[in-house]
Every structure is written in C-alpha cells, then in structure tokens.
Chain A
Amino acid sequence: MSISVIIKIIVTVLILTGTVLSILSAYGILRLPDVYTRTHAATKSTTLGVLCTLLGTFLYFWYTQGMVSIRLILGIFFVFITAPVAGHLICRAAYRSGVKLAPESIQDDLKELVDQEQNEKRKSDGQNN
C-alpha cells in the first residue's frame, strides 16, 4: 500500500470518528436526564469529535497541498482548553442556581458545602441589615 493511500485512510477514519462522536454527543444531550449528565455528554464527546475532525483536516491539507496550517493547530489547542472549562462553568452555574439532580442520583457531596456557604451568606447579610 502506498503512503498516499495510507494517509487518505487515516484522514477518512479521523473525520468519520469526529462525525460519529459529535452525533453520539447530540444523542446524549437528547437522552440523558438532567443538566449535569447532559453537559457531560456535550463537552467530552464533542470536544474529542471536533479535535478528530480538525486533526483530519490538518493532515489532509498538509499532505495534499504541503500547507502546515497553524490556525488548525491553534484551533485544536484552543478547543481542547476551552470546551471543558465552558462545561464546568455551565454546570457550576446550574448547581448554584439550584437545578435539581436527576431522581436516579444517590449521592450529592457538594450539597453540604453549598448549603453551609449560603447560610453564612444569609447570616452576614442579616448582620449588615
């Protein structure tokens, strides 16, 4: 098998993997019960899906046109850093504004801490008033 065929196969597999992961993530957003599990599906698999697609594109243009696209590398790095943080912030905002966990959940370790924090806040507000 020649090198060009091997690279074409790698590129195809990468882009297909990226697409399938993105579809799986969309399916996860539809099927999972609450906002936390949905963010889990939306951030993890979409990030990997986008990374695979970008990497496939990068390899394709590198091989066919000899063009090393810095923008694609930067995009891979950028998405890899920012997408999980965005998921973290969405989850955190949801928890702090009191969105309930799915009824199937059995343990909530953060509840104690957040309750304590809010009690303290209420107390200090009372003192200020």
Chain B
Amino acid sequence: MKPNDVILQTVTKVVTFIILTFAVYLFLAGHHEPGGGFIGGLVITSGLTLLYLAFDIESVRQGVPVDFKIVAAVGVFIAVATGMGSLLFDSPFLSQTYGYYNLPIFGETELATAVLFDLGVALAVVGTGVTIILSISGDA
C-alpha cells in the first residue's frame, strides 16, 4: 500500500512556483542587490529537490525531461563563451561591458554582459547540484 502524500504533494505544487519565482528574482537582482547566479542556481536546485522529495524521481524526470549533466556543461560553456566574446572586440579575456537601452515594456534598462556570465554560473550550479542529489539518492 502506498503512503498517502496528498498534503505534501499539494503544497509542493504551490510552493515550487514561489521558489522558482524567487530564484529568478535573485538571479536578476544580482547586479545591484544581494543575489546573483550562484544563489539563484542554488534556489532552483532546492526547488527541484523539493519536487524530487514529494514525487518520485521517475515522474519528475517525465515532467522535466532534462539531463542535468548537459545543463552543467552548457553553463560552463556559456561562461567561457562570454569571456571569449570580449576577445572579438579587442579587449582582454572576461572584460564586461554594459549599456542603456529602451526596451518596450521596461523603459530605459541597463543591460550588462555580466548577466550572461551569471547565467552560465547559474546553469552550472543547477546542473551540478541536481546531478549530485540524483546520484546520491540511491536508485538514480
């Protein structure tokens, strides 16, 4: 007989959205406030871990059909690629730049290439974290 997990699963469905939203907020706030790629990635990892706790690994794998080893690799690639990109503009490796643009909804926004580097960091953290958790969880 399977244990009855209705309360845990229902709350997980609501809470995961809050956690992932907060992760995106932390990721985008990293330039001017506490936050950034690393803790953004860690919060996403914790949200996914909550899903793995409430449901079994197979059903989460069906819902999120992503190989997290590849996610980590893509993250490292993006981080290195932003560093290489600065070489194209005749500046040293990993130089960052920023500019102000008028976007349709947000108005005048500061866009920095550091966000791309942060994206790489976040993906690498998510990939590594979930891979570690899945490998030590036994039947993965």
Listed in ascending order, the chain A residues whose CB lies under 8 Å from chain B are: 70-71, 74, 77-78, 81-82, 85, 88-89, 117, 120-121
Contact = CB atoms under 8 A, between A and B. Distances in A.
Contact of A77 (B1, B8, B18, B25): B18
A9 to B, nearest CB: 31
B22 interface: yes
23 contacts: A70-B25, A71-B22, A71-B25, A74-B18, A74-B21, A74-B22, A77-B18, A78-B15, A78-B18, A81-B11, A81-B14, A81-B15, A82-B11, A82-B15, A85-B7, A85-B8, A85-B11, A88-B7, A89-B7, A89-B8, A117-B1, A120-B1, A121-B1
B44 to A, nearest CB: 16
In the A-B complex, the 3 residue pairs with the smallest Cβ-Cβ separation, listed nearest first, are A85-B11, A78-B18, A88-B7
A81 B14 CA distance: 9
Kindly state the interface size class of chain B when it binds its partner: 10 to 19
B65 to A, nearest CB: 27
Contacts of B18: 74, 77-78
Contacts of B8: 85, 89
Interface in B37-61: none
Contacts of B7: 85, 88-89
Q: Is the interface of A mostly helix, strand, loop or mixed?
A: helix
Nearest to A89: B8
A116 to B, nearest CB: 10
A102 to B, nearest CB: 24
A82 B22 CA distance: 15
A111 to B, nearest CB: 17
A78 B47 CA distance: 13
B86 to A, nearest CB: 34
A71 B29 CA distance: 12
Interface string B3-44: 000011001001100100110010000000000000000000
